[in-house]
Amino acid sequence: MAAYIQARNVNLTFRPPNRAPVRALGNFDIDVAEGEFVSIVGPSGCGKSTFLNILLGLIKPDSGDILMHGKKLSGPGTDRAMVFQDFGLLPWRTVEHNIELGLELKKVPAAKRRAIAARLSALVGLAGFEHHYPHELSGGMKQRVGLARALATDPDVLLMDEPFAALDAQTRDLMQVELLRVWREAKKTVLFVTHQIDEAIYLSDRVMVMSKRPGRAKKTFAIDLPRPREYEMRVTPQFNELKLEIWNTLKDEIVV
Amino acid sequence: MAELQADFAVTAAADAAAPARRLWRRLEPTALGAGGIVGLLLVWQFLPDLVPMKAGTKLFFTVPSDIAGTLWRMFATGSIWAPLGVSAGAFAIGLGLAILAGLPLGILLGRSNVLNAMFDPFITAFNATPRLVFLPLLLLWFGLGLWSKVAIVFLGALFPLLINTYEGVRNADKLLINVVRSFGAGEWDIARLVVVPNALPFIIVGLRLAIGRAVLGVVVAEFFGAQDGLGVVMVRAASEFKVDVVFAGLIVFAVLSLVMTGLVKLIEDRMSRWRPQQVSGD
ipTM: 0.90
pLDDT at B1 over 50: no
> CA of A59, closest CA in chain B: separation in Å?
10
Mean pLDDT of A216-224: 94
Q: Is B92 on the interface with A (CB under 8 A)?
A: no
Would you say residue B280 lies in a domain?
no
Residues B45 and B74 in one domain: no
Residues B36 and B74 in one domain: no
Mean pLDDT of A202-221: 94
Would you say residue B58 lies in a domain?
no
CATH number of the domain where residue B229 is located: 1.10.3720.10
Would you say residue B77 lies in a domain?
yes
pLDDT-based confidence at residue A200 (cuts at 50, 70, 90): very high
Per-residue pLDDT tens over the stretch B174-219: 999 999 999 999 999 999 999 999 999 999 999 999 999 999 999 9
pLDDT at B12 over 60: no
pLDDT at A39 over 50: yes
Residues B200 and B256 in one domain: yes
Residues B125 and B43 in one domain: no
Please report, rounded to a whole number, the percentage of residues in chain A having pLDDT higher than 90. 81
Residues B163 and B210 in one domain: yes
Residues B139 and B25 in one domain: no
Of A192, A191, A189, A203, the closest CA to residue A242 belongs to A203
Mean pLDDT of B122-150: 87
Stronger pLDDT, B7 or B68, i.e. the higher one: B68
What pLDDT was estimated at residue B281?
37
pLDDT at B172 over 70: yes
DSSP A162: S
pLDDT-based confidence at residue A157 (cuts at 50, 70, 90): very high
Mean pLDDT of A59-76: 90
pTM: 0.81
Residues B73 and B171 in one domain: yes
> CA of B261, closest CA in chain A: separation in Å?
23
Residues B39 and B146 in one domain: no
Would you say residue B170 lies in a domain?
yes
Mean pLDDT of A126-150: 93
Q: Are B274 and A86 a contacting pair at CB < 8 A?
A: no
Residues B111 and B35 in one domain: no
Q: Are A92 and B193 a contacting pair at CB < 8 A?
A: no
Residues B48 and B141 in one domain: no
Would you say residue B282 lies in a domain?
no
Query: What is the chain A residue with the closest CA to B182?
Result: A76
Would you say residue B57 lies in a domain?
no
Per-residue pLDDT tens over the stretch B60-110: 888 889 999 999 999 999 889 999 999 999 999 999 999 999 999 999 999
Residue B105, domain extent: 64-274
Would you say residue B144 lies in a domain?
yes
Q: Are B183 and A153 a contacting pair at CB < 8 A?
A: yes
Residues B35 and B69 in one domain: no
Per-residue pLDDT tens over the stretch B19-51: 888 888 888 888 998 999 999 999 989 888 888
What pLDDT was estimated at residue A74?
84
Q: How many domains does chain B have?
A: 2
Residues B94 and B42 in one domain: no
**Among B52-56, B207-211, B228-232, the least confident range:** B52-56
Q: Are A93 and B274 a contacting pair at CB < 8 A?
A: yes
What pLDDT was estimated at residue B11?
53
Per-residue pLDDT tens over the stretch A100-118: 999 999 999 999 999 999 9
Please give the interface size between A and B, counted as residue pairs whose CB atoms are below 8 Å apart: 57
pLDDT at B6 over 70: no
Query: What is the chain B residue with the closest CA to A94?
Result: B274
Which of B113, B179, B269, B278 to substitute to test the interface with A, most A CBs within 10 Å? Answer: B179
What pLDDT was estimated at residue B15?
58
Which of B183, B188, B196, B200 to substitute to test the interface with A, most A CBs within 10 Å? Answer: B183
What pLDDT was estimated at residue A138?
92
Would you say residue B34 lies in a domain?
yes
What pLDDT was estimated at residue A63?
93
Contacts of B197 in chain A (CB under 8 A): 90, 92
Contacts of B175 in chain A (CB under 8 A): 84, 86, 88
